[in-house]
Homo-oligomer: A and B are copies of this chain.
């Protein structure tokens, strides 16, 4: 079923939930929003393009979920609470069934996290989704990339490599791994719990080594990781694939958090573990210098096949 641009917008508007701080939502020239007093805004934008970030056989609901999840993951890494999103949707054909499926996924996550879709743009073009999310965080409690200090522990939430394995194996991948690729969970509760505890934080979208590398550069430090300490999901372990370690270290699309914690804060971190459903693990430490060394179980440095993901370099 083909829809006009205005019918598309109306279809989105009719399903978008509100919030008390949305003074005016979809349907005017701009949304009007009431920010809370005493907090900073955290704003993130991410775009997903067909053929670059997802393939033509993606389930629309998974795409809707993921488009929001990758943005919320950025807010999680800042320890922010998400509030509002704008959606820019370019579609080759205005298809009602596709849009409804897409909204099913997007709004499921939006509802779960209390996010209101307040505006955006729908237009003709190659399939592309660009979302901007806005959240709140007290300015002095936001987690940045540049605060890691020598001696801090390096931690990650959950497990890495699952999404990369699913991408590499396609339909042959176990359902648990495909779920991780298509329905990543932004670690918002964990990010907020790290306020006052973590010294720096980043979300892992391009691969553990690449994203940790950004944190290290921003902080002016280096790191040593021990592969023996890398958490691995039961599904990935069961694969027993020789590419496993590469996926864990350099695979993208995990949307876990990587963060540094000063030794003095480790007790505080341990005390809060019960607050979030994903266990963080200590995988190494911040050292003086630059770059990331990965040590094998015997403490020998490991050569790394690739450093991470660049949307231009790989295509």
CB contacts under 8 Å to B, within A70-85, are 74-75, 77-78, 80, 84
Contact with B along A46-88 (1 / 0, CB 8 A): 1101111100000000000000000000110110100010111
Tell me, in angstroms, the Cα distance from A313 to B123 when the chains sit together: 11
Q: Which of B32, B33, B80, B124 contacts A30 (CB 8 A)?
A: B80
Do B132 and A86 touch (CB < 8 A)?
yes
Complex contacts, A94 vs chain B, CB 8 Å: 312
Q: Mark A100-131, 1 if CB is under 8 A from B, else 0.
A: 00000000000000000011111111101010
Which of A2-10, A150-158, A241-249, A269-277 contacts its partner?
A2-10
Inter-chain contact A42/B52, CB cutoff 8 Å: no
Is A292 on the interface with B (CB-CB < 8 A)? no
Q: Using Cβ atoms and an 8 Å threshold, which residues of chain B touch A311?
A: 5, 122-124
Q: How many residues on chain A are close to B (CB under 8 Å)?
A: 71
Q: Tell me, yes or no, whether A20 is within 8 Å of chain B by CB.
A: no
Given A24-B144, A35-B35, A40-B33, does the pair A45, B119 have CB atoms closer than 8 Å?
Answer: yes
Residues of A within 8 A of B (CB): 2-6, 8, 23-24, 27-35, 37, 40-47, 49-53, 74-75, 77-78, 80, 84, 86-88, 90, 94, 118-126, 128, 130, 132, 134-135, 137, 139, 142, 144-146, 201-203, 218, 310-313, 315
Q: Which 3 A-B pairs have the closest CB atoms?
A: A49-B125, A30-B44, A29-B77
